[in-house]
């Protein structure tokens, strides 16, 4: 458990790092990737040559006897939502850092990127239930509060229910938003709510995983514990069939995840615990311009 002084120090470190990244690496890229995704009705004016006929206001046109067009403008303000998996599996990590540490840092960078662009940012923390909801707001103080919670929030549940998290998001956030789902996605059965979210919002999954999620080291007989169920099991890591089954399970889960996001029309990024997440985000922002 971090002390208050350690928490404040870590928050400050993340703020400085996030500001540096936002200023030097993500300058204009966050803005270009997401601005203009939402349009807001501005006014009605007489139809002009070249206007899109889909935007003719037929009621007003009928009233005045000649065509009028609806005008729209870009939404100047966006809402960024972070759906953060804080289930016990996020505490796993064998190279460089834990999944939770990586998720926290990515969440901090996204939060500060949003507030630096005068956008709102909110968070849904989830395990096998909704643990904590921070409604979207603007401002540095709000971003600092979010980062403190990212660092310190502890789950009461033991499992992971992404289905419930996405449903909660769909029901709670009515305005079209950008939603980053930060998780290892070691779950199933979330196709339907994800499809609903993808039809209403701009959804991006960030799959955070560890090298040992993919393959077991060959170190003989070991006892392992499932972080979410508490189930203990002995594994012979030198056994080829054990190695194969373990890798197969990861690949099947990954394939199901990729298929779910594709069906929902949502993006999916991959970040390993020893990857440079900055490059992954930067490449994604650049592709979206």
Do both 63 and 185 map to the same domain?
no
Domain count for the chain, please give it.
2
pLDDT mean over 164-176: 94
Do both 179 and 155 map to the same domain?
yes
Q: What pLDDT does 75 receive?
A: 58
Do both 44 and 142 map to the same domain?
no
- For 10-41, give the secondary structure using H, E and C: HHHHHHHHHHHHHHHCCCCHHHHHHCCCCEEE
Do both 52 and 178 map to the same domain?
no
Do both 160 and 187 map to the same domain?
yes
Q: Is 50 left (phi over 0), alpha (psi -120 to 50) or beta?
A: left
Do both 269 and 159 map to the same domain?
yes
Do both 62 and 140 map to the same domain?
no
- Provide the CATH number for the domain around residue 172: 3.40.50.410
d(CA 211, CA 216): 9
**Among 20, 47, 74, where does a domain finish?**
74
Interval 19-67: pLDDT, tens: 888 776 565 666 667 755 556 667 888 998 888 888 899 998 998 999 9
Do both 203 and 123 map to the same domain?
yes
* Claim: this prediction has a pTM higher than 0.85: no
Do both 25 and 43 map to the same domain?
no
Q: What pLDDT does 150 receive?
A: 94
pLDDT mean over 135-160: 93
Report which of 223, 241, 242 is spatially closest to residue 233, judged by C-alpha positions.
223
Report which of 76, 71, 85, 83 is spatially closest to residue 31, judged by C-alpha positions.
76
Do both 17 and 117 map to the same domain?
yes
Q: Look at the block and give the residue holding tokens 């169920």.
A: 229
Range(s) of the domain holding residue 63: 39-74
- For 242-280, give the secondary structure using H, E and C: HHHHHHHHHHHHHHHHHHHHHHCCCEEEEEECCCCHHHH
CB neighbours of 125 closer than 8 A, spacing ≥ 6?
Answer: 84, 86, 131, 132, 133, 134, 149, 153, 155
Do both 54 and 148 map to the same domain?
no
Interval 82-131: pLDDT, tens: 999 999 888 777 777 899 999 999 999 999 888 888 889 999 999 999 99
Q: How far apart are the first and last CA of the chain?
A: 41
Do both 158 and 109 map to the same domain?
yes
């Amino acid at each position: 458990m971090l002390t208050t002084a350690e928490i404040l120090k870590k928050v400050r470190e993340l703020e400085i790092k996030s500001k540096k990244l936002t200023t030097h690496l993500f300058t204009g890229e966050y803005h270009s990737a997401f601005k203009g995704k939402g349009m807001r009705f501005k006014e009605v004016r007489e139809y002009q040559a070249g206007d899109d006929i889909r935007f003719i206001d037929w009621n007003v046109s009928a009233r005045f006897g000649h065509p009028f067009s609806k005008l729209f403008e870009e939404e100047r303000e966006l809402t960024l939502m972070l759906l953060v998996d804080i289930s016990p599996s996020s505490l796993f990590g064998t190279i460089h850092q834990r999944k939770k540490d990586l998720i926290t840092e990515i969440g901090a960078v996204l939060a500060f990127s949003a507030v630096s662009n005068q956008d709102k940012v909110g968070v849904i923390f989830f395990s096998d239930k909704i643990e904590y909801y921070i409604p979207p707001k603007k401002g540095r103080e709000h971003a600092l509060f979010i980062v403190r919670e990212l660092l310190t929030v502890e789950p009461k549940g033991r499992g992971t229910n992404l289905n419930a998290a996405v449903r909660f998001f769909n029901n709670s956030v009515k305005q079209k938003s950008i939603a980053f789902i930060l998780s290892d996605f070691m779950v199933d059965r979330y196709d339907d709510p994800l499809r609903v979210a993808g039809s209403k919002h701009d959804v991006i999954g960030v799959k955070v995983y560890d090298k040992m999620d993919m393959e077991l080291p060959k170190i003989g007989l070991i006892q392992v514990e499932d972080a979410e169920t508490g189930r203990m099991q002995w594994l012979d890591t030198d056994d080829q069939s054990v190695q194969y089954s373990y890798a197969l399970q990861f690949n099947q889960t990954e394939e199901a995840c990729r298929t779910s996001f594709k069906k929902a029309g949502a993006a999916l990024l991959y970040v390993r615990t020893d990857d440079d997440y900055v490059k992954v985000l930067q490449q994604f922002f650049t592709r979206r311009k």
